[in-house]
Amino acid sequence: MFLSPISIIICALLAAVTISVSVILAVNYPESKVVIVIFSVAVYVALCAFAIKLVETLQKKYEVKRPSGPVLGSIMYDTVNFSAEPALICDEAGKIIWFNKATQTAAGSASSILGAKIGNVISGQIKEITVDDKKHEFHTTLGGKNYTIERTKIKSGDKIYFLLMFRDVTEFVNLKQFVKNDEKVVSYIIVDNLEELLQFEQERYREAAAKIESLIREWAASCGGIVKEYERDKYLFIFKSEDLDRFIQEKFDILDKVRDIRVGTGNISVTISIGVAKVKGELADKEKAAHIALDMALQRGGDQAVVKYDETVDFYGGRTNAVHKRTKVKARVVCDELITHMANAGNVLVMAHKYPDYDAFGASVGIARLAMFCGVRVNVVTSPKDTNIKRCMKLFGDESYKGIFVDAAQGLDLVRSDTLLVIVDVNNMAMVESEDIANNVANIVIVDHHRKTAEFERAPLISYIEPASSSASELVAEMLEQSVPPSTLHHAEANMLLAGISLDTKQFTKGTGTKTYAAAMYLRDNGASYEDIQDLFKTNIRDYKQESAFGEKVEIYRHCMAIAVNPNGESSFDRVLAARVADNLLMVEEVAASFALVLIDDTVHISARSNGTVNVQLILEALKGGGRYDAAGAQVKATSVQDALLQLKKAIDNYLDPED
């Protein structure tokens, strides 16, 4: 028998007391020493026995009893089994081997649970429950309610099981959804083209404007929103977030309803643009974001809705061509602002897109002339070895252009803290001649006629994007006409700008407006000559044969789409030939849009053209391309021609069958 620590201490204390008393008695009664010792020992033993017994009794009385293994298991089982919240156990394969009564109540049937896979009973990322060791809480639904699952991994022998404890968060989820749905969304609505369509029929303006306003107010009333006309043909629309989901599901059918309104002698459709902000923050932040979304819709040609989120932007509509505007006020305002920035810059760099064409090069030299007029050093960043550029260089042979044209490496060396970069004929930074230059220059100006595909990561000083214009050369010619004195433009520059307009309008046969011919007249007055630029459009016999071979294998897809593919799938056809093939295919009967695919190195280049009934820009945006309504392009990297062809056909299908 072993004594407890408390008993030992008590016995030691009793021994000390007993010895002390015995010594005192022995001193006072020396004749009775033997009797005193015997008596003391007897008393000590009796007291120790009594103390030890008392300690043992008290310990048993106040000891906290721990349940045995079977008792503990029973308690835990009852706790889980009769819990008001569902709980179940599954093995590593996700097979349910046990569940409590609350699980049966929530699921509705015990037979559908036992032995079933977890994924057949609850929803969510089921695989994570048995695979992801780092995550311990999951979200799911069961019996129409929302739950979070707390997972506990249990090892029994060589087998592993998972105990899943459910916690009902339905009320919290519903409250969160209510707050989300009740959140206010700010949007701007503007009529794109009514003023241009009715400039010769002003008496019908009010009638058409009233129809449009009636449709917009009816649309706002359908969701209980607030719509106010803050300026003529411009509206501010505020509504709940839950209604935005419905508008998106309906693909903003208000665009189609307004498009059904036709006016003018040409019976042309009226269109609107909508900018919607679904972002976090105060109402002022939402209003600012809505304005940015509206600007993007207009820069993409109008007739569409742009929904701006915190990180992404979605586009809806955009199925009609932009209407040409007659006023040159914007060109003058933009040019004045550009001249101010040029005058304050240390030097100016001008560049266009990769593989520049005549329009890109013409717009570049036009901007360079504007910089020279401002008295600032300017360089045009281009690819001197490119076949098209070699032809253009022949027009710029005199000494005044020496050192103006540089390649990307030389251009990067010219970047300074006060450098101004003007990008022409492209607004996608991934497509510019040199991304390194674009990323290292702080001050950027963009002049382009292609529809904007996405919001800029860095806001440019000036973003002059006019999809209604025929070409970038047309925009630059307008700016020069508004700013530089007569006869300032050199003969070669005027020829190059005219060549750019001629290329993008297919010799003035498509995409032209009154401003296109006005720009051509201005260039003619400055010495441009069609005879001088004819050599730029000639082709040698080798290219002619290649183009003919390229156009031999043509597939008519979906009855109206002509697709030509590089016949070899290996050789490096010039991408200009692809553009020519796409142009020529539009002359085929019943072809509404044409696509030419050519493999250059490891990239498949796609050139697309339309007769005006198909928006090829929307089709190629699915392949991360862009352009204009009737002319667009895309580059599909690291793929075969056949893979690119399959992606193109899928994009065409999605365009023609948007509901699928």
- 8-18 pLDDT, tens per residue? 777 777 777 77
d(CA 94, CA 115): 9
Q: Given this model, what pLDDT does residue 347 score?
A: 95
* pLDDT for res 274: 93
Amino acid 67: pLDDT: 47
Give the integer Cα–Cα distance in Å for 618 and 272: 18
Alpha helices, H only, 429-471: 435-440
Q: Computed over its alpha carbons, how large is the radius of gyration of the chain?
A: 41
Give the torsion through C-alpha atoms of 328, 332, 338, 342, to 10 deg.
130
pTM for this entry: 0.61
What's the CA gap between 335 and 480, in Å, rounded? Answer: 8
Write down the mean pLDDT value for the chain. 82
d(CA 454, CA 187): 18
pLDDT lower than 70: segments of the chain: 1-4, 59-76, 110-111, 124-137, 179-181, 194-203, 264-267, 319-328, 397-400, 551, 567-574, 638, 659-660
- The fold of the 543-656 domain, in CATH, is Diaminopimelate Epimerase; Chain A, domain 1 (3.10.310)
pLDDT in tens, 228-237: 998 888 999 9
- Note the maximum CA span of the chain: 155
Other C-beta atoms lying within 10 Å of the C-beta of residue 25: 17
Of 166, 161, 148, 155, the closest CA to residue 101 belongs to 166
Q: Residue 379: its pLDDT value, please?
A: 95
**Assigned token pair, 77:** 């089982």
DSSP letter assigned to residue 115: T
Instruction: Please state, in angstroms and as integers, the Cα–Cα distance from residue 451 to each residue in 299, 465, 587, following that order.
Output: 6, 7, 25
C-alpha–C-alpha distance, residues 626 and 624, integer Å: 7
Say if domain 78-173 classifies as CATH 1.10.10.10.
no
In this structure, which topology does domain 329-537 adopt according to CATH?
A: inorganic pyrophosphatase (n-terminal core) (3.90.1640)
Superfamily of segment(s) 187-317: Reverse transcriptase/Diguanylate cyclase domain (3.30.70.270)
Q: Decide: 478 and 331 in contact? Cβ < 8 Å.
A: yes
Convert 509-548 to b/e letters by CB count within 10 Å (16 or more is b): ebbbbebbebbbebbeebbbeeebbeebeeeeeebeebbe
Of the candidates 407, 364, 371, which has an alpha carbon nearest to the alpha carbon of residue 493? Answer: 364
- Beta-strand relationship, 462-465 and 443-448: parallel
Vertex 426 angle, CA 442 and 623, to 5°: 115
